Structure 1
Amino acid sequence: MYLKRPVESIERLMSALNPGATAYDLPRRRLLDIPVNEVWLVERGMVAVYRNRGQQLVYIAASPLILGVRNLFASPTEMLMAEFLDVKSIAKISPEDLKTVLDEKGLWKDMANLISFYLECMLTSHYRLVQRSDYEIIKGLIYEYTKLSDYVKERTTLAQYIIEKGLISRSNVLRILSILNKNGCITTTKGRLLTVMYLPEKL
């Protein structure tokens, strides 16, 4: 499953929500819990979202981003953490105020698009944990990496992305990527993926 971020919906939501949001300068510590009583708006930079207390990467993307939308309906049972990269400030809005804007502006469809996307991210993250082999996980993450924006790929190597999102040892990731490079399946330079020619069913 290769996920497409609903950028147009996010941009409409950001435009409507920003006037009522409060600016917030981030502390020096850039890995923060996403609180249950706030929704965060990120206009510039890149954010990585983790579960399991920062151990498993769920999603990484460049702005614009809206974090904490699951707080609209219930207090989540699992805390997510956000790591901010090239981000100095964000804007905050309460779930109640956000709902008011959605009602007034008729933006619930855009919010539904965003929530559906985040649910797909979480399901993909859970599914990846029960895959049968490291190679199957790496294969899926290589294709997923190709869908990232250039901004993200310039700041995240292929190996780093796979290690953090797939929970696979660094040595095994590098070993498999080396085999794929030698066999002409992929081309990389300085850790960045240039081309994907083909990925065999089994390695």
Structure 2
Amino acid sequence: MDLKPLDSIERLMTLLLPQADEIVARRPRSFHKNGPEIYLLKEGHFWLHRRVDDLQMSMAKAPHIFGLAELLIPVGDTTYVKFAADSEVYALSGAKAQALLNEQPALWQDVSRILAFHLHFSTWRDLHLLNDNAYDTIRGKLLELEKHDESLRKSTTILNYILGTTKLSRSTILRVMKNLTDGGYLEAQRGKLIRIVHLPLRY
């Protein structure tokens, strides 16, 4: 089931887009360089990175709104985003977004729904990162990759996806992937995920 609150995103897009400016998608962006900033993704997708080590924390596709948490509890410049080159992205200051929302306070409920969606996704993501062995982490990342749309799966190898989102070594990932493909547990072509047949709970 897709939990993404598309109706809430649409209502906030309608409110915020007329006051936002289109930005260059190829440049990494911070949420809090000169004060909180809100990003409105109309087309394409983006990756959220941890600044301290460039770890890829999550990916989301359009339509999407992010940076909303900074309106409530600013935490500073700890993360940044990278957009796909073909993305259509708009930005506006947190102060302007907050003023617009205060004019229509009922829309704060939509902000809450989007933040709840982010929280649920983060919890689901962390469930398989807080494991004691590499296989559990790889299994979780494969299931995560399977949830993404086909365009992302065709443009990203399994190895690069797991390397970018975990601290596992290349050799460990390749060893587990070889065993899974040889065992018929998943199908891959040129290193890219085609489909998951069945991933055992234990390795």
TM-score per shorter chain, which class? 0.7 to 0.9
Contact 2:181 2:188 in 1 (8 A): yes
- CA–CA distance in 2 between the matches of 1:61 and 1:151? 13
- CA–CA distance in 2 between the matches of 1:149 and 1:10? 19
- CA–CA distance in 2 between the matches of 1:78 and 1:157? 29
Question: Secondary structure of the residue that 2:43 maps to in structure 1?
Answer: coil
CA positional deviation for 1:127? 4.7
Q: Which amino acid aligns with 1:32?
A: R
Query: What's the counterpart of residue 172 of structure 1?
Result: 172
Contact 2:36 2:95 in 1 (8 A): no
Bigger RCO (CA 8 Å, 6+ sep): 1
Residue 28 (structure 2) aligned to one of 24, 31, 43:
31
Instruction: Show the 5 A alignment for 1:41-60.
Output: 41-60=40-59
Contact 1:10 1:110 in 2 (8 A): yes
Relative distance call for 1:140 and 1:3 in structure 2 (3 A) is farther
Contact 1:17 1:101 in 2 (8 A): yes
Contact 2:31 2:70 in 1 (8 A): no
The answer to whether 1:85 aligns with 2:84 is yes
Taking structure 1 as the reference length, the TM-score comes to 0.85
For each residue in 1:71-126, what CA deviation from the matched residue of structure 2 results, as whole angstroms up to 9, or x when unmatched?
A: 11122156111112124663222223222333444322221121112223444555
For structure 1, list consecutive stretches of 5 or more residues without a partner in the other structure: none
Query: What's the counterpart of residue 68 of structure 1?
Result: 67
Instruction: Show the 5 A alignment for 1:108-147.
Output: 108-124=108-124, 126-147=126-147
Contact 2:44 2:84 in 1 (8 A): yes
Relative distance call for 1:194 and 1:9 in structure 2 (3 A) is same
Q: Which moved more, 1:158-167 or 1:140-149?
A: 158-167
Q: Which amino acid aligns with 1:82?
A: V
- CA–CA distance in 2 between the matches of 1:192 and 1:87? 21
CA positional deviation for 1:3? 7.6
- CA–CA distance in 1 between the matches of 2:2 and 2:87? 27
Q: Which amino acid aligns with 1:42?
A: L
- CA–CA distance in 2 between the matches of 1:3 and 1:166? 24
Query: What's the counterpart of residue 16 of structure 2?
Result: 17
- CA–CA distance in 2 between the matches of 1:99 and 1:71? 11
Q: Which moved more, 1:47-56 or 1:122-131?
A: 122-131
Contact 1:3 1:117 in 2 (8 A): no
Q: Between Structure 1 and Structure 2, how many residues are aligned?
A: 200
CA positional deviation for 1:12? 2.5
For structure 2, list consecutive stretches of 5 or more residues without a partner in the other structure: none
Contact 1:58 1:121 in 2 (8 A): no
Q: Identity of paired residues, percent? A: 25
Question: Secondary structure of the residue that 1:72 maps to in structure 2?
Answer: helix
